[in-house]
Amino acid sequence: MSAPDLPELLYEAVLMRDDEEGIVYQAGAFTTEAEAQKVLDTWRVEGRTEPMSINLVPLYRVVEEWQADR
């Protein structure tokens, strides 16, 4: 029996609240971490000082894939 396929990961550039307990703004999701990092780099150059992060978001085709991955 083969292992189930792992879901594709998307990299989401986000601005966090100052207490880092929640997301203030989601810039979008990218297929590579390097592209998401470019958003964070752009924000820093623009003078943004909020905490920033890259969230990993699994992409499922159907809910059954999500249920199997829980």
Q: Within a domain: residue 2? A: no
Question: For residue 60, what are the domain limits?
Answer: 8-69
pTM of whole model > 0.75?
Answer: yes
Rounded (10°) CA dihedral 66, 6, 39, 14 = 30
Q: Is the dihedral of CA 35, 20, 27, 49 positive or negative?
A: negative
Residues of the chain short of pLDDT 50, as ranges, are none
Tokens, residue 20: 């880092």
Q: Within a domain: residue 33? A: yes
Tokens, residue 24: 């203030």
Q: Within a domain: residue 3? A: no
The radius of gyration of the chain's CA atoms, rounded to the nearest angstrom, is: 15
Q: Within a domain: residue 45? A: yes
Mean pLDDT of the chain: 90
Q: Give how many domains the chain has, as a whole number.
A: 1
What are 41-51's pLDDT values in tens digits? 999 999 999 99
